[in-house]
C-alpha cells in the first residue's frame, strides 16, 4: 500500500536538512528521510488491536513540520526516545475493517477517530503509568518500554493499525467533514479547558488557521458571553473568523496599538525597541507558537492573565521572559488532547468534541477548503506554505 512516512534515522535527517540548503526539492529526493513509498499492508499484531481503512485525512501543521524536516535536534523533547518510523496523518475519515479477538465494542464498518500517534503504555502491552491510567496518554512516562510494529500505516496510508485504546468510535451519521475535524476539535477543546474565560472575559486567539478557528468556535459554544478577538494574517482568514463568531479581528498595521485600543491597556515604548503593555486580554491562545507570537502574547496578556500555547514549533527560540514574573502570568501548553475535568465531570476531549459537533454547536464543512489525491501531496504542501495566494484552511488528502 502507498504510505507517507519519515524514517527517524539521524544521518538521513541530517543529510536531507543539509541538502535543503541547496535545493528546496531535496526533501522529495530519493535520499530524503521523508518517503512516499509502497509498504506491506499491516496485520494485527495482537488481540486488542484494530485495523482501519482510511478514506481521507487532513493535513495538519505537525505533519508539515515533519514533511519539511523542520526539526532542531537541540530542543529538549528530541532527547525522548521515539519511533523508528513515523507514519504521517492523524485527522482521519476512516472505518474499521478488522478487530482483534478480544475487542467487543468495535466492529467492521464503524466510523472512528484516531487519538494520536504517541506511543502509550497500553499500546505497547504494559501496565499503564500514572498519566496513561488517568487518560493523559500524551504525557506517558515510559515511551521507551517497547517498540511498536514498524509498518503500522497512518492517515496518509490506505490502511493503518493501532491499539484499541487509540480509537474513538464516532456516530454513524457523521459526515466526512465532521469525521475529519473531530480530532482537531478535540485539540481545541483541550486548549479551551486549560483556561476557560469568565463571562464577558476578553480572549485573543493568535492565528486563524484550523486550530485557531476551532478554539474560536469552542469558546463561543461553551462561553457565549466571552469577547473573542482573532489575530489573522490573510483577508480570507479574517472573513472566516467573523463568519464563525469572532467579535473582532486584528489584521496588519500596528498590532500593539490595536490591542491597547480593544482592551483599554496602556502601551509603553522604551529604549532600544522595548515595549510593554499594562492591561490586556484575560486569556490568549497562541496557536502559531513561534518566538515572535509567544513574545507578543507575553506583552498583550493582562496581569495575572493566562496564555495557552497550542502552536507547535520544533525549533529553539529566544524569548524575553520578564513579563511572566513581572505581571504574574500563568503560562501553560497543550499536547493534543486528554482527560478533561470541567463542570464537575471527567470526560475526554473527544467526548466534548463529538457532543459539540453532533449538537450542531460547531461548523465543520466551511473549514475544508481543498481536496488532493494522496499522490499529489507535494502540491498540497506547496499550497499550505503559500496561503496568501488563495483562501486556504484545512487541506484534505483523498487516500482510498
Mean pLDDT by 10 residues, the chain (400 residues): 92 89 88 94 95 98 91 84 89 98 97 84 84 92 82 96 95 98 98 98 97 98 98 97 98 95 96 94 97 97 98 88 97 96 94 98 97 97 90 95
Whether 244 and 334 have beta carbons less than 8 Å apart is answered as no
The cell for 357 is 459537533
- What pLDDT is recorded for position 372? 98
Full set of structural domains in the chain with CATH:
2-175+366-398 (3.90.180.10), 186-339 (3.40.50.720)
Beta-carbon neighbour count of residue 279 at 10 Å?
18
Q: At 4, which helix (H) or strand (E)?
A: strand 2-7
Whether 380 and 372 have beta carbons less than 8 Å apart is answered as yes
What DSSP state is assigned to residue 13? H
- What pLDDT is recorded for position 332? 97
> What's the rounded Cα separation, in Å, for the pair 205 and 187?
14
- What pLDDT is recorded for position 118? 67
Q: At 322, which helix (H) or strand (E)?
A: helix 322-326
- What pLDDT is recorded for position 81? 80
- What pLDDT is recorded for position 350? 98
Between 210-222 and 176-194, two packed helices, what is the crossing angle to 10 degrees? 70
- Residue 106, CB-side half-sphere exposure with 13 Å CA sphere: 29
- Closest by CA to 341, choosing from 134, 197, 120, is 134
- Residue 159, CB-side half-sphere exposure with 13 Å CA sphere: 16
HEC letters along 18-39: HHCCCCCCHHHCCCCCEEEEEC
SS3 150: coil
pTM over 0.85: yes
Amino acid at each position: 500500500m502507498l504510505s507517507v512516512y519519515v524514517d527517524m534515522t539521524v544521518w538521513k535527517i541530517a543529510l536531507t536538512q543539509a541538502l535543503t540548503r541547496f535545493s528546496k526539492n531535496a526533501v522529495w529526493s530519493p535520499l530524503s528521510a521523508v518517503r512516499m513509498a509502497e509498504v506491506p499492508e499491516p496485520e494485527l499484531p495482537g488481540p486488542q488491536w484494530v485495523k482501519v481503512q482510511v478514506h481521507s485525512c487532513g493535513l495538519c501543521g505537525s505533519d508539515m513540520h515533519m514533511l519539511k524536516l523542520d526539526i532542531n535536534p537541540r530542543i529538549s523533547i528530541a532527547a525522548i526516545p521515539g519511533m523508528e518510523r513515523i507514519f504521517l496523518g492523524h485527522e482521519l475519515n476512516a472505518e474499521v475493517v478488522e478487530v482483534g479477538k478480544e475487542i467487543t465494542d468495535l466492529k467492521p464498518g464503524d466510523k472512528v477517530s484516531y487519538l494520536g500517534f504517541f506511543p502509550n503504555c497500553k499500546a505497547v502491552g504494559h501496565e499503564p503509568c500514572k498519566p496513561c491510567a488517568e487518560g493523559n496518554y500524551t504525557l506517558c512516562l515510559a515511551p521507551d518500554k517497547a517498540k511498536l510494529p514498524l509498518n503500522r500505516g497512518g492517515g496518509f496510508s490506505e490502511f493503518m493499525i493501532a491499539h484499541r485504546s487509540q480509537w474513538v468510535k464516532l456516530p454513524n451519521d457523521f459526515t466526512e467533514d465532521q469525521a475529519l475535524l473531530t480530532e482537531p476539535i478535540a485539540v481545541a477543546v483541550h486548549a479551551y479547558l486549560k483556561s476557560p474565560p469568565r463571562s464577558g472575559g476578553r480572549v485573543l486567539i493568535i492565528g486563524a488557521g484550523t486550530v485557531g478557528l476551532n478554539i474560536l468556535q469552542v469558546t463561543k459554544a461553551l462561553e457565549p458571553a466571552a469577547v473573542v478577538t482573532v489575530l489573522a494574517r490573510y483577508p480570507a482568514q479574517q472573513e472566516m473568523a467573523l463568519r464563525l463568531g469572532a467579535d473582532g479581528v486584528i489584521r496588519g498595521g500596528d498590532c500593539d496599538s490595536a490591542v491597547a485600543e480593544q482592551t483599554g491597556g496602556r502601551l509603553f515604548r522604551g529604549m532600544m525597541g522595548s515595549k510593554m503593555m499594562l492591561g490586556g486580554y484575560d486569556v490568549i491562545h497562541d496557536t502559531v507558537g513561534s518566538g515572535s507570537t509567544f513574545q507578543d502574547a507575553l506583552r498583550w496578556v493582562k496581569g495575572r492573565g493566562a496564555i495557552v500555547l497550542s502552536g507547535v514549533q520544533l525549533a529553539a527560540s529566544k524569548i524575553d521572559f520578564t513579563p511572566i514574573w513581572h505581571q504574574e502570568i500563568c503560562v501553560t501548553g497543550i499536547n493534543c488532547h486528554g482527560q478533561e475535568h470541567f463542570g464537575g465531570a471527567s470526560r475526554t476531549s473527544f467526548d466534548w468534541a463529538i457532543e459539540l459537533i453532533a449538537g450542531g454547536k460547531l461548523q465543520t464543512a466551511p473549514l475544508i477548503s481543498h481536496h488532493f489525491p494522496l499522490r499529489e501531496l507535494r502540491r498540497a504542501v506547496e499550497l499550505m506554505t503559500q496561503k496568501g495566494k488563495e483562501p486556504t484552511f484545512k487541506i484534505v488528502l483523498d487516500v482510498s
